[in-house]
Amino acid sequence: MHTEDLRGEVMAKSKKLSYAKESELLNQLKIIEESNTFRELGYKTLLKYCVGEFGLSEASAYRRIAASRHKKGASKRP
């Protein structure tokens, strides 16, 4: 196998894994928000939870929360 082919294959697998992890994070945020787990852990908001527990910036946390809410709404559509 050529180096370029191998590099492309590794990058494709890495991207797929990254998307899977992001999707799992969005699913977990949905569950955490619905169950108010973040409050039980002492956080006033889901945003503060994401910053404190995942080490995300506020902007990054906000985007992921918005995406998890969008995903939540999309799953209820027929």
pLDDT tens digits for 23-42?
899 999 999 999 999 999 99
For the chain, the average pLDDT equals: 82
CA atoms of 55 and 70, how far apart (whole Å): 22
Identify the pLDDT of residue 20.
Answer: 82
By mean pLDDT, which of 11-15, 20-24, 34-38 is the weakest? 11-15
CA atoms of 59 and 64, how far apart (whole Å): 9
Q: How far is CA 34 from the centre of its chain?
A: 15
Helices 46-54 + 3-35 axis angle, to 10: 140
Output the CA angle 50-56-58, nearest 5 degrees: 80
76: pLDDT strictly greater than 50: no
CB 27 within 8 A of CB 35: no
pTM: 0.71
